[in-house]
Amino acid sequence: MKPQLLIGAPTSGSGKTMFTLGLLRALKKRGLKVQPYKGGPDYIDAQYLTIAADRDAVNLDTWMASSTHVQYVYNRYGEKADVCVAEGMMGLYDGYYQMKGSCAEIAGLLNIPVVLVVNARAAAYSVAPVLYGFKHFRSSVRIAGVVFSQVSSPSHFACLKEACSDAGLECLGYLPYSEDLRVPSRHLGLTLTVRQSMDELAEKAAALVEQYIDVDKLLNLCTRIFPCRYTLPYTSEQGVEAMETGRRKKMRIAVARDPAFNFIYRENLDRLAESGNLTFFSPVYGSDLPDADLVYLPGGYPELFARQLHRRKRMMQQLRDYAESGGKVFAECGGMMFLTRSLTARKGGTAYQMTGLLPVDCTMENARLHLGYRRMNYQGISLRGHEFHYSSIAEPDTLPSVTPLYNVKGTEVSTPLYRYKNVIAGYTHWYWGEADLWKLWD
């Protein structure tokens, strides 16, 4: 038995992240080991949760992974924790199709209760029917209690508390409106300054949580049996064991990780670690590429560090030599941008020379959002992932693709997978917790 909960909300912008940051830090300050999770594919919020809890946040996503794998991951990472806290995404029932892929689905799958965060800035007693609807909409999703955000005064909270009681739900407290509680822009990169800012923000939020939230009551209401039961047939461990990792135990794997490249799913790193030793390096600050049998360039914000990357001539030459001699490179989104000939970071800006392995140019001019789940089949391996970027390839037809990508509806999208020798690259951030990534090169 241990406290376990998913923090959800009726809509985006309700204050889930701020409350989650505060709760994680408050529990940590009590001396509890708290395991954070992030529902959905978001890697930025997951990093914020990691900072608040001082423990790596793990993504739970029922589009990118099977139900049994999500349960397996939840149990494995939560095993040594005192408390398990998952932050939801969007509205509680918002998924890729109706509630499929939603955090309500995840809460039901894991059999954990939901703490609902409701933005009360422009609300009063009318929240009662809204809360009543969330309480009764799905019997598989249990609302343990409600936290109100953006509350203007104690009298405002008194009205909200009555509405909560009349809806048949426990009120756990509130967070007052505060100008100090603002999450930094998501397009700043995870620099040391941003990390410090997030740490300070978690401290401020924790102080409010301790003052205005009944944390003990929350923990008591959310205490459940651990681990969650698996959905049968259970295949996740068999899938992991089936990966031919034994013959690859001595593999050397170099992973780029710094403020420009940090969109990494924790489970992906664990899968790579089963094949060999991981060495982390920094394209922004480093000068040498580590010796490796595989170089992994994850996504991030290279456009914010284009000038610094441009100056890493030695590392870029080493990466070119490595790839030209047949070295394996797997690059996602920002990692792929680093492999192009040039990167234009803003409209009318300088086109900074990049590695040049891919004969195309990348630009942030005329930037527009490309967003959504993706899937592909290549070399006998099926992968699912998520695409999120504003940049584009200037002349995409000059670089032939090796396989198309599809969205959740089965429609082909305009950002395919590219290959040059053993360099495999594209805009999608892939999840390979249940797949043998090495098969891409077999």
Q: How confident is the model at residue 191 (pLDDT cuts 50, 70, 90)?
A: confident
Q: Which of 358, 368, 280, 290 is nearest to 324 (CA)?
A: 358
Q: Is the pLDDT of residue 167 over 60?
A: yes
Helices (H), 249-290: 266-273
Tell me the pTM: 0.93
pLDDT tens for each residue of 306-345: 999 999 999 999 999 999 999 999 999 999 999 999 999 8
pLDDT at 418: 94
pLDDT tens for each residue of 259-275: 999 999 999 999 999 99
Q: Is the pLDDT of residue 239 over 50?
A: no
Q: How confident is the model at residue 187 (pLDDT cuts 50, 70, 90)?
A: low
Contact status, residue 5 vs residue 92, Cβ threshold 8 Å: no
Q: Is the pLDDT of residue 236 over 50?
A: no
Distance CA 51, CA 192 (A): 12
Q: How confident is the model at residue 189 (pLDDT cuts 50, 70, 90)?
A: low
When the pLDDT of each residue in the chain is averaged and rounded to a whole number, the result is: 92
pLDDT at 397: 75
Q: How confident is the model at residue 241 (pLDDT cuts 50, 70, 90)?
A: very low
Q: Which of 1, 6, 3, 113 is nearest to 60 (CA)?
A: 6
pLDDT at 232: 66
Known catalytic residues are 333
pLDDT tens for each residue of 361-397: 999 888 788 899 999 999 999 999 999 999 999 887 7
pLDDT higher at 222 or 189: 222
